[in-house]
Structure 1
Amino acid sequence: MAVRECEAPHCSGADAEINEICKQEGWPIGHPVLTRDSQGPCTCTCSCFALNTPICISEVEVKAIQDIKKGDYIYVAGLDLKWDQKKVLFSQGTKGNSKQPLTIYIVYGDNQHLVVTPDSLFLVENKKLKRADKLTPEDYLINQNGEKVKINGVTIGDFYGGFHHISTNIEEPSSDLQGHLIVANGIVCGDYALQIYYQSRKAYDTEMFVGTNEPTVGTQEYKSKYGTIENIKNKEFIPSHEHQIEKPPSNAMTFISEEESKRYMRYGSFRNFTDPNSRAWTEYLFTQFKSFYPEINYSLDWDNEVVNAYAWIEDGKRYVQLTGGLVRAEALEIEGISLVLAHEIGHHYGGEPFYPDSNGLSCEGQADFYASRNIMRVVWFGEYYITVMEKAITQISKFFKVTNKRDETEETAAFLPKDEELNMNSCSHPPGACRIETYNAGVDLKPKPACAN
């Protein structure tokens, strides 16, 4: 289900309720919260600065951000950096020591640092605003005196703590940003109202924001160009590159072939590395599927940009893993990711035919068929099964670049290696059009198509 972001006024107006829900449920910052505005369903997010971030409240005084209440005064300015005290109209946040994924850690100046959400905005040397997850060691931040401050490094990871945000002006920002710039630990940043405004469509028509075509913090492209931060002394922050995650063995079953994966990585379209929806969808699906298939160990290798999913058995334990590259593919949303997950579970429980020497893991066509006919019916009960499957098949069709027609046999996939087109009776991956036909057959309770081996 494609859901747009709410326009700025709605998110700002509903922020108190959003954050209250986030606190009650223990949802992390960036967690997408479905709501409605005048245009229909949309998402806002729990969100900006880590607790205890010092904020200037006057020329010489600072205060921890969570201690700044509505009605207090803080130091604010516009692009002219003429600072003055102004009353806080908005102060909300999350508390506790829960895990907050996809947070940005910035080291600058004389080993100072900030921990912020990816969409936090910083004033850079050209007097424009740039997202935290796009900052690089080539950028210069600005202090309250307008002086440049060198960035020493930027990385992404998990933060164990709460976040808070404030604003002295809840109106749409003017072109001079008057009243929307604050000072956080010596650095000029955008307030929460400006952060919300950046998410609106109107912001794209302004010149106040730096373009986001540069690599995102945490991606392989970014790490290859700028490296990572080593020996972080903040015990509350764990960099993503230090995560220990189970790696699938070389003989693990996959959703698509290695050749297809490479083609999709080259030609496919992807959501941003810090996209909250992709991660939230996948983690929700793990919880959903685990209630029906508890023997499986589920994992998401978020940092892995390979487009694939894996199933394997090791030391008598069953594993399923999805990669970040796959769940961030624009063609797939929660329904499509659900069917991919069901396919991998289908390797474990789909029955004959089995891969040779695989400890009883089903062949690809059988995993597709069992996933569609059995697993998805178990997880998505009643009529909702049909709703989810129809959306899932449409999304998988876009993923494979084939038409979604029942009994379709003509292969049109842009990413399919030609040498697999003739391999119709093996245990390997059938052509994309055959896989769509197999999914439809499972929904319609028809026999497995011959092309699915």
Structure 2
Amino acid sequence: MKTNPNQSVNNLNSNDFAYSARISTPNGEKDIQSFQIGDSILAFSAKLESGTVKLTASQAKVSFSNGIESKKQTRVIYLNLIDSQGSSKNITCSADQLFLLINGKYAPASQLQPGQELVNKEGNPINIESVKTGSFKGGIHSISTNAAFGDIPNGHLLVANDIIMGDFSFQLYFDNLPDELKQS
């Protein structure tokens, strides 16, 4: 398998979340920067059945966990999301952070637009209210599971702040994803 030629393993500012993003584990939630290699994490698989995203959770181990505490400003994407009950959720991430859309396709944060719908941890739609690019000063962190990577991201989907997103390995192998699973 080839990795994304535009992605360097040395570029750890890619596919990151801001410190304090809450990631689901078998024992509750944990701040992303608190993960160590070998920690248990909930990893998800997604399948589109009759127009509905079906999620399956399994336990995996963290195989990569790295971040930086930046005193300099970094360019990030700020997502403001609204669920069906009108509750607001916010996510701060890198432009190439991958998300699962309600149509079963995947897109980086830089391609998201207001009105599109992401998928929450129950498989329900969550509306993108706004997408803003801005500066961020603070910690940034990446994690990956130990799941084998095929041509779909099963085992490399995580829950961050109740939203399904891809791990760092998914970013590296995004180019291997079949075109019909990429939002264009």
Q: Under a length normalisation based on structure 2, what TM-score does the superposition of the two structures give?
A: 0.84
Structure 1 or 2: more helix by fraction:
1
Corresponding residue pairs, total = 172
Following TM superposition, by how much is the alpha carbon of 1:97 offset from its aligned partner in structure 2, in angstroms? 2.8
Higher RCO (CA-CA < 8 Å; seq separation 6+): 2
- Name which of 151, 171, 181 aligns with 1:195: 171
Report 1:36-435 matches (<5 A): 48-58=16-26, 61-80=28-47, 81-101=55-75, 103-109=76-82, 110-169=87-146, 171-175=148-152, 177-198=153-174, 200=175, 202-203=176-177, 205-211=178-184
C-alpha contact (below 8 Å) 2:15/2:98 kept by paired residues = no
Distance 1:168 1:71 in 2: 9
Distance 1:51 1:133 in 2: 20
Gaps in structure 1 of 5+ consecutive residues: 1-6, 23-28, 30-45, 212-453
Distance 2:181 2:170 in 1: 11
Gaps in structure 2 of 5+ consecutive residues: 48-54
Following TM superposition, by how much is the alpha carbon of 1:178 offset from its aligned partner in structure 2, in angstroms? 1.5
Distance 1:130 1:87 in 2: 25
Distance 1:140 1:9 in 2: 25
Distance 1:9 1:210 in 2: 17
Q: 1:108 to 1:145 in 2, by over 3 A?
A: same
Following TM superposition, by how much is the alpha carbon of 1:115 offset from its aligned partner in structure 2, in angstroms? 0.4
Q: 1:169 to 1:208 in 2, by over 3 A?
A: farther
Following TM superposition, by how much is the alpha carbon of 1:143 offset from its aligned partner in structure 2, in angstroms? 0.8
C-alpha contact (below 8 Å) 1:173/1:180 kept by paired residues = no
Letter in 2 for 1:90: F
Deviations 1:283-309 (A, max 9, x none): xxxxxxxxxxxxxxxxxxxxxxxxxxx
Following TM superposition, by how much is the alpha carbon of 1:209 offset from its aligned partner in structure 2, in angstroms? 1.2
Identity %: 31
C-alpha contact (below 8 Å) 1:11/1:196 kept by paired residues = no
Distance 1:131 1:11 in 2: 14
Letter in 1 for 2:172: I
Letter in 1 for 2:101: V
Larger radius of gyration: 1
